[in-house]
Structure 1
Amino acid sequence: MGRFLRERLCVVWCVCAGVSCCVLSVSQVRGQQELRALREAVVREAGVLGSGWARTKVNMAIFRHSAVDSVGDRQVAGWYDGAGRVCLGERRLGEDRWRVQVTELRGRVTDAHNVISLAFDGAGELHVSWDHHGHPLRYVRVSAGGGLEPGERRVMVGRDEERVTYPEFYRLPDGGLLFFYREGAAGAGNLVLNRYRPSVSGGAGVWERVQSNLIDGEGERNAYWQACVDGGGVIHLSWVWRETPDVVTNHDLCYARSADGGVTWTNSAGVRLLIPMTAAGSEYACRIAQGSELANQTSMSVDGSGRPVIATFWRGAEAGAVPQYRLVYLGESGWRVVQVGERTLNFERRGGGTKRPPISRPLLLLDSAAGSRRAVVLFRDQEWGGGVVAAVTGDYAGGDWEYWGLTGGVGQADPLVDFGVWRERGEVHLLSQLTGQGDGEREESVEPTAVRLLEWRVRWPDSR
Structure 2
Amino acid sequence: MDKILKKQTNSKAVISNSLVVMLLLFTFYSNAQLKTEESEIGLGWSNNSVNTVIFRNSALTTFKNWQFTAYYNSEGKMVLAKRNLNSKEWQTVITPYGGNVKDAHNSISIAVDTDGFVHVSWDQHDTRLRYAKGKTPFSLELSEEQPMTGSDEAKVTYPEFHNLPNGKLMFCYRSGASGRGNLILKTYDVKTQKWSPLQNNFIDGENQRSAYWQMCVSKKGIYISWVWRESWDVSTNHDICYAFSADGGQTWEKSTGEKYSLPITKTSAEIAWKVPEKSSLINQTSMTVDMQGNPYIAGYWDDNGIPQYKVVYLDKGKWNKIDTDFHSKPFTLGGGGTKKNPISRPEILVSKSMLYLLFRDEERANKITLASANLEKKQWKLTDVINYSVGQWEPNFDKELWKEKSELHIFSQNVSQADGEGLVDTEPQAVRVIELKKIPINK
Q: CA deviation at 1:387?
A: 0.8
Cα distance in 2 between the residues matched to 1:422 and 1:117: 18
Matched to 2:316, the amino acid is: E
| 1:314-463 to 2 correspondences below 5 Å | 314-316=301-303, 318=304, 321-367=305-351, 372-395=352-375, 398-407=377-386, 408-462=388-442
The alignment-based identity, stated in percent, is: 42
Residues 458 and 364 of structure 1: is their aligned pair in 2 closer, same or farther, counting only changes over 3 Å?
Answer: farther
Instruction: Note the alpha carbon deviations across 1:56-90, whole angstroms, 9 max, x for none.
Output: 10000000000011101111110000000000111
1:222/1:378 CA distance change after superposition, 3 Å: same
**379-388 or 54-63, which deviates more:** 379-388
Query: After superposition, where does 1:51-130 map in structure 2 within 5 Å?
Result: 51-130=43-122
Is residue 257 from structure 1 mapped to residue 211 from structure 2 by the alignment?
no
Give the Cα separation in 2 of the matches to 1:159 and 1:393: 45
- What amino acid is aligned across from residue 400 of structure 2 in structure 1? G
- Separation (CA, whole Å) in 2 of partners of 1:195 and 1:106: 25
The aligned counterpart of 1:269 is 256
Q: Tell me, what secondary structure is at the counterpart of 1:326? A: strand
| Cα shift readout 1:403-443 (whole Å, capped 9, x = no counterpart) | 11112211111011110111111111011100011111000
From 186, 189, 195, the counterpart of 1:197:
189
Partner SS for 1:214: strand
Q: Which has the larger radius of gyration?
A: 2
Give the helix-richer structure, 1 or 2.
Answer: 2
Choose 158-167 or 141-150, whichever is displaced more.
141-150
**Aligned counterpart, 1:32:** none
Partner of 1:26: none
Measured in 2, the distance between the counterparts of 1:330 and 1:82 equals 43
Offset from partner CA, 1:262-295 (integer Å, 9 cap, x none): 1111000110011110000010000001111101
Q: CA deviation at 1:342?
A: 3.5
1:144 positional shift: 4.1
In 2, distance between residues paired with 1:459 and 1:159? 44
For 1:227 and 1:297, how far apart are their aligned partners in 2?
9
Contact 1:123 1:144 in 2 (8 A): no
The answer to whether the 8 A contact 1:348-1:357 is kept is: no
Which of 265, 280, 293 aligns to 2:267? It is 280
Secondary structure at the aligned position of 2:177 is classed as coil
User: 1:290 is matched with which residue: 274, 277, 286?
Assistant: 277
Q: TM-score, normalised by structure 1?
A: 0.87
For structure 1, the residue ranges without an aligned partner over 5 or more in a row are 1-37
Task: Tell me how far 1:333 sits from its aligned partner.
Answer: 4.3
In the superposition, the TM-score normalised over structure 2's length comes to 0.91
Confirm or deny: 8 A CA contact 1:341 1:401 kept in the other structure: no
Could you tell me how far 1:331 is from its partner in structure 2? 1.6
The alpha carbon displacement at 1:42 in A equals 1.5
Aligned length: 412
1:302 corresponding residue in structure 2 = 289
Look up the SS of the partner of 2:435 in the other structure.
strand
Q: Which runs of 5+ in 2 are unaligned?
A: 1-30
Q: Distance in 1 between matches of 2:301 and 2:353?
A: 23
Runs of 4+ in 1 over 4 A off after TM superposition: none
CA RMSD, Structure 1 to Structure 2 (Å): 1.3
**Which residue of the partner structure matches residue 206 of structure 1?**
194
2:121 counterpart letter in structure 1: S
Higher relative contact order (CA 8 A, sep 6+): 1
